[in-house]
Amino acid sequence: MKLNLRPRTQPEVNMTSLIDVVLLLLIFFMVSTSFVKQSQITISLPQADSAEVVEEVPDQIDIMITETGSFLVNGRELINSRVETIRNALQKVSGGNSNLPLTISADANAKHQDVVTAMDVAGRLGFTRISIATLNDPEAQ
């Protein structure tokens, strides 16, 4: 008995139908997926007991005098340069404590009278630790 042995053929897998099925599943999942907003964390913020604003008394007081004669007390510009306004600003900033150090700095083109006025007001309020800020001239060295 003689058997004819045929050469074995490799089985073929048709990829076309497999790709079609995968694409259809991909489209199905893309359409059926709902994009839900992620849950958010609820934060309970603390509340103040009172609406009272407490101002801290600074370590020192700075009076700046500009070229135009404007006064700045601790960086806040005063509405005018009258003696009463400067006195009220110093009393408010110091909280009545005249032992705080007070520094007066003026522009090089500021009037000397404005500097003397600031020193006079501070002296009348009882400030004894008054200093005047200066800049070293680099050409003099």
- The string of pLDDT tens digits covering residues 78-127 is 999 899 999 999 999 988 888 889 999 998 888 989 999 999 999 999 99
Owner of token pair 């995968």:
22
Token pair recorded at residue 76? 């806040």
Considering only CA atoms, which of 22, 136, 122, 135 is closest in space to residue 73? 122
- The string of pLDDT tens digits covering residues 46-76 is 676 666 666 665 688 999 999 898 999 998 9
- CA atoms of 53 and 129, how far apart (whole Å): 29
pTM above 0.75, yes or no: no
Give how far Cα 133 sits from Cα of 19, 73, 108, Å: 83, 14, 11
Q: Which domains does the chain have, with CATH numbers?
A: 61-132 (3.30.420.270)
